Amino acid sequence: MYEQMISLLDYLEKSERNYDLPKITEAFYYADKLHEGQMRLSGEPYISHPVAVARIVAELGLDTDSICAALLHDTVEDCSDKTNLETLAKMFGKDVALLVDGLTKIIQVQVADKEEAHIENIRKMLLAMNKDIRVIFIKLCDRLHNMRTLSAKKEDRQRAIALETMYIYAPLAHRLGIQRIKQELENISLFYLDNVGYQEVYEEVEKKFGRSGDFIDVAKSLLSEKLTENGISFTLEGRVKSVYSLYRKMYSQNKAFDEIYDFYAVRVIVDTELECYTALGLVHEMFKSIPGRFKDYISTPKPNLYRSLHTTVIGQSGIPFEVQIRTRQMHEEAQFGIAAHWKYKSGEKSRGDIDEKLRWIAQLLESDENTRDPDEFIHSFKTDIFHDETFVFTPKGDVISLPLGSTVIDFAYAIHSAVGNKMTGAKINGVIVPIDKIPGNGDIIEIITSNSSKGPSRDWLKIVKTGQARSKIRQWFKREKRTENIQVGKAEVEREIKRIGRQLTDSEINDIVITIAKRVGIQTVDDFYNTIGFGGISLSRFIPKIKEEVEKLRASEDLPLTAEEELAQVKLAKVNKRMRSSGGVIIDGESGYQVKFAKCCNPLPGDKIVGFVTRGFGVSIHKADCPNVIASRGNEDNLARWVRAEWEQVEESKSSTYEALIQIGAEDGIGVLAGISMALADMKVSISQINTQPNKEGDMVINLVVGCRNVSHYDSIVSRLRSVPKVISVRRGFMN
């Protein structure tokens, strides 16, 4: 490991940046001493990991404190008997200690389930980012090295870590503009999540590059000659599109490999913005351009700092390729994103520029503070971090970036909360449109406001796409409609208590509410009712707690069960945290019963269903034609336990996702699984289980457990799968 550290110090010395090498060396020796005797799963000394992370941090161009924090990032948690944050602050400074604190693995909080714990980890990561963005830079470097060494872990952990990386860390790297890390995280994640698909695309890349491997060199030579003739100082780079980018394009756009025009790309790096456009003209003189394949990200940059000109042209051999043209500073930002600011900027202005680019973090945290609802938080997180952008214009020509699918209401609140609150209508390109209209790229939007407006409607919360707009609407109701909110919230709570089947006094209700409110940091009954009323948090999250408090009250008074409570005891039994409440099912004409969906038949909305009252685990929901139902009804002892069940009517957009088993018969061969995976990904259908086995005819049987909304959605999935090459049959399966 000393050789690895010597290599790092040599790299830092040659970088010509003002690193404090003695401080970095001291951090290494201290970390090495603390981690002495600790080993990684690969068998290497543990210190090899922080040194490798520090090298990646250095390659991002971060500062001395960031490299020290990378070397020390696991010491506080893994060596808590030997060191602490106070010691680190004394030895290496307050900034290093704060960075290590932000990087220290989250202590698991007491939450109901793994999903909520995961959300809490994301929230704490954002808080750390908001304090010092270097935390997430180092965290991404840490994750990248862990992914590079993922082969040492068991297969189930490989998939879990790869999935988290694909859906959390790679999009974060993209949002911060760090393309180098983003692309490597995506490629490694794909390798572990769909190795068959990865290998197929990789082999196609190798074959195509083998047939025309000199193509990039020829294109670079022609461009070099032309740019030199015109007196432009330049650097040329060539690249082949990454495996993950090709994989994603093939299944998301349903394209064959040969239909991808930007497989090859040549990058032209020049000194000035004016030279970018000059070079663009020269490229179009030399090669025939493909209509509709030009993008100007210099005049309209992406939110993650990316600026460049993109054009796709036809080479002399008839092969299409992309040309990217940018200045050297733009290239730094394209490779390193916001981290590039540490390379060539300093001072308060730089910090102000960075803060401006990171406003989305503060907006997410502000939204979370206003809602207190984990479901709402994760919705905002996914929308604001993982979205594709729509670029629209104000009447003055300012560019506004919105998540794809945003409405004109989202646009109004992106301008200012006062604009949204006074909004009475909108125009797109001069034409009045409904307020739920979704604008397209390049549209000019004008918001019509009025001082006599009564403010936003509660219905807007169902229309808007962004967490920012939803948060600002709720803020308005919280501030302007407190009395009304309290009435609405109180009515909802009392209705829920009545539904449980208890008659309580106002004093008893107050005692229950204040107990529940204090669990989420709300100090008064009125504040709790207000929060429920303006939608800051959903009452449904507190239904189990309300039932628990009512039960405690009943037990303390030693009162007999009411008829409704006896029915609930029989049908609900014990609440199992792994089950969803009600699940969109009505039992004997009433909703809210604790249900679980039978794995033997996986019923979907649209199927005829029945319920079976289990002993201690609520009501088990089966398809009416499930073989187990038919067999059980032949047993007289079970007849009394079968109850009438039907699906609750909900809007399509609000419907839950249910598991269903699909059995596919297919020809045995390479490419079948990849084709099925791409077809399902194209439909945005998740796969929770997959296994294959040969049949007697020499073909293969593929069992998939997928998530779908209802029978109609299931039928559309089946129809799509039947069109996949080599698929022979598709049918719905029953599990034993």
The residues that are catalytic are 77-78
Q: Measuring CA to CA, which residue among 107, 113, 129 is closest to residue 381?
A: 129
H-only helix segments in 372-466: 374-385, 408-415, 417-421, 460-463
Element spanning 425, H or E: strand 423-428
Beta carbons of 700 and 668 less than 8 angstroms apart: yes
CA distance 375 to 380: 9
Reading the block at residue 18, the tokens are 């003002």
Q: How many CB atoms lie within 10 A of CB 357?
A: 19
Ordered strands of the 727-732 beta sheet: 687-694, 700-708, 658-666, 727-732
The torsion angles phi and psi of 708, rounded to 5 degrees, stand at: -145, 160
CA distance 243 to 233: 32
Q: Measuring CA to CA, which residue among 713, 586, 730 is closest to residue 658?
A: 713
The most distant pair of C-alpha atoms in the chain lies apart, rounded to whole Å, by 96
CA distance 466 to 390: 13
CA distance 417 to 645: 46
The one-character DSSP state at 606 is T
Full 3-state SS string of 477-493: HHHHCHHHHHHHHHHHH
Q: Amino acid identity, residue 14?
A: K
From the centroid of its chain, how far is CA 264?
A: 29
What's the CA angle centered on 594, arms 590 and 595, to 5 degrees? Answer: 95
Beta carbons of 236 and 220 less than 8 angstroms apart: yes
Beta carbons of 475 and 417 less than 8 angstroms apart: yes
Which residues are registered as beta bridge partners of 707? Answer: 659
CA distance 189 to 243: 11
Beta carbons of 709 and 657 less than 8 angstroms apart: yes
The torsion angles phi and psi of 320, rounded to 5 degrees, stand at: -75, 145
CA distance 486 to 193: 48
Q: Measuring CA to CA, which residue among 296, 287, 249, 292 is closest to residue 266?
A: 287
Q: Measuring CA to CA, which residue among 484, 488, 455 is closest to residue 472?
A: 455
CA distance 188 to 149: 10
Reading the block at residue 246, the tokens are 């090709």
CA distances from 203 to 115, 206, 212, 214, 724 (A): 37, 5, 14, 18, 20
Beta carbons of 404 and 456 less than 8 angstroms apart: no
CA distances from 378 to 111, 220, 381, 521, 653 (A): 15, 45, 5, 20, 17
